[in-house]
Structure 1
Amino acid sequence: MNPKPIILDISEWQVPSQIHYDVLSRQIGGVIVRIQYGSNYEDKHYRTHLAAFQKYNVPVAVYAWVRGTSISDMEKEASDFYRRAKAFQPTFWWLDLEEQSMTDMRGGVEAYRKKLKSLGAKKVGAYIANHLYRQFNIDTKKFDSIWLPTYGQNTGIYQGNNPTATSEYHLHQYTDQGRLAGYSGNLDLNRIAKGKITDY
């Protein structure tokens, strides 16, 4: 049994034509949709995903894979992220930190966060790869929420394997092999570790 509510995160890898949004929506408490991979690559299906889940009254948040190579590049990525997603009024804006794109990731990521906030993003969070958490040395206290992945045996259900990099996290991605009615492929599933649905 997976912890409720289930928070789903998806991208263009989940093709809209293969999703029964009405069925899937009834099983989740929220969804986090990828908007971009760096500035130059826009997710193919983010508009469709966001509109469909909003139609079924699912709270939507958004995320962007961060690839900035300098402070100015990080700020440009933040601007593109905001421009692409603002019309959907997401509950949360997540920075997906899984790639060392510049030497000073701490400084670069802080520039990205500040830019997003200055543009009008109310809540900004950081998804940090568990094995890169110490290396990146992100100033996590500046963020409104922290999201960490650890899969354990990755069976598709939560088995109590929690992030080890820190105990200060709010959202936990516990599998990329999840299964839910309404979609026949694997899904990334997350649980709220601290806080409530409106905080994520």
Structure 2
Amino acid sequence: MSKIADLSHHQGTIDWTKASQELIFAILRVQDGSRVIDRQYKNYVAGAKKYCVPFGNYAFTRFVSINDAKVEAKDFWNRADKTAEFWIADVEVKTMGDMRAGAQAFIDELQCLGAKKVGLYVGHHVYKQFQANKIKADFVWIPRYGGQEPSYPCDLWQYTETGQLAGVASNVNLNRLTGSKSLAYFIGTPVKTPAPNPVVKPVSNTGDSYTVKSGDTLSAIAARYKTSVSEFARLNGIKKPDLINLTQKIKIPGSAPAKAPTQKAVYHTVKHGDTVSRLAVKYKVTQAQIKSWNKLKDINKIYVGQKLRVK
């Protein structure tokens, strides 16, 4: 998983079983102005949800006045899936005199409607003309191709329009994080965490001896039995503590090992606004773990008052 792609019906039918293996998250087009609804949006949302790909919504804007910008924002909100992690106003063509005012009206209206994170996509070539530096948005996304990073501060950089994504026949736009905002800001779930160190468990232990298994080291066994490597070496006549053999039986000094501590389950009662992705971030676990612990068929369907195991 290494790609961030923005997708519209121009990409056609997507094989999400393949695309999901490469996507960190996707940015899905909902509409092109108020008159054109993206033909593939609902299909893309269904695929992203089925294969647990976090996604955001974007709308290509065509507003011609402040009032029209508000209408477009309402249409965007009403047509889009509310479980999206973020929302974006795509402002790249001049459609009214004061584009700064129109873009701000669009963003403000979205926030009033309930969108929590609203970003601005603005063409590199019109950044100054539209006074994009004065538009208040939660994050900024800028396209610039040919290997050069944007000349203006941004959080997402659309670096190519000829990218490749598994499961998609046509070219796709690909993006990179470039600002101070973390990946978790956009996907609502922690970045992959390293697997915990495996607990060394005896395969065969009679209380006074231990049979070495694959992956064992003397230091790990000593830690397991709360003693020192030197004590193990002395008791077993081991001259080179870094060399022990598979199936070798080692005498255990003292009593049997202490049992590994068990972690107590933690539960959370779902409140208004909660999502599995946000709970995963809050409790530092993965969405897959929450889904498994609670036997959820669909991680996007949880209910206020529902009790979920989160640890």
Q: 1:199 aligns with which of 185, 192, 197?
A: 185
Take 2:115 and 2:2, find their aligned partners in 1: how far apart are those partners? Answer: 24
* Partners of 1:63 and 1:95 within 8 A in 2: yes
Number of aligned residue pairs: give it. 185
Please name the residue that 1:156 is paired with. none
2:73 aligned to which of 70, 78, 82 = 78
Match of 1:187 in 2: 172
Report the more deviating stretch, 188-197 or 109-118. Answer: 188-197
Question: What is the aligned partner in structure 1 of residue 108 from structure 2?
Answer: 114
CA RMSD in angstroms comes to 1.3
72-81 or 47-56: which moved more? 47-56
Runs (4+) of structure 1 moved beyond 2 Å? 138-141
Tell me the secondary structure at the aligned position of residue 151 of structure 1. coil
Displacement of 1:142 after TM fit?
Answer: 1.7
Check conservation: 2:74, 2:109, Cα contact below 8 A: yes
Letter in 1 for 2:71: K
What secondary structure, in the 3-state scheme, does the structure 1 residue paired with 2:29 have? Answer: strand
TM-score scaled to structure 2, two decimals? Answer: 0.58
1:12 alignment partner in structure 2: 9
2: CA distance between counterparts of 1:174 and 1:188?
8
Separation of aligned partners in 2, 1:113 and 1:139: 14
Provide the secondary structure at the position in 1 that maps to 2:104: helix
- Unaligned runs of 5+ residues in structure 2 are 187-311
1:170 aligns with 2:172: no
Q: Please tell me the residue identity of whatever aligns with 1:170.
A: D
1:1-200 matched pairs, under 5 angstroms? 5-16=2-13, 19-85=14-80, 87-140=81-134, 142-152=136-146, 159=147, 161-164=148-151, 166=152, 168-194=153-179, 195-200=181-186
For the 8 Å contact 2:103–2:135, the answer to whether it is kept is: no
Indicate the percent of aligned positions where both proteins have the same amino acid: 39
Shift of 1:5: 3.5
Q: 1:140 to 1:170 in 2, by over 3 A?
A: farther
The structure that has the greater radius of gyration is 2
The amino acid across from 1:108 in the alignment is G
State the TM-score, normalizing by the size of structure 1: 0.88
Tell me by how many angstroms 1:151 deviates.
0.7
Distance in 1, Cα, partners of 2:17 & 2:99: 40
Distance of 2:172 and 2:99 partners within structure 1: 29
Kept after mapping to 2: 8 A contact 1:5/1:191: no
